[in-house]
Amino acid sequence: MLRSYQIATAVWSVFFLARFGVQQWLYDADETGWLGATRLLMGLPLTAVALGLTIWLVRRATRADAEGHRGAAASGG
């Protein structure tokens, strides 16, 4: 379960670092048009992807953990 949470954390870290890096570079280059488009594209759509991936990872980890507990209870452990 911990591994899935670590992966989800890494996904969010990469997501925010990429957003910052790209937008800072465009800001420093004074590319306001591209900055606006990038903010739109890297805003809600990528956030939705990261959120969806996080939900999938947590559900998968929770399901595997619950099955592990059921298996241990059935075997008397």
Could you tell me the pTM of the whole model? 0.75
Supply the pLDDT for residue 66: 82
Region of 31 please: left (phi>0), alpha (psi -120 to 50) or beta: beta
Q: How far apart are CA 65 and CA 77, in angstroms?
A: 15
Instruction: For 2-45, write each residue's pLDDT tens digit.
Output: 888 999 999 999 999 999 999 999 999 999 999 999 999 999 99
Per-residue pLDDT at 46 exceeds 80: yes
- How many contiguous H segments (helices) and E segments (strands) does the chain have? 3, 0
Check residue 73 and give its pLDDT.
Answer: 60
- Alpha carbon separation from 30 to 27, 34, 65 (Å, rounded): 5, 9, 49
pLDDT-derived band at 71, boundaries 50, 70, 90: low
- How high is the pLDDT of residue 60? 92
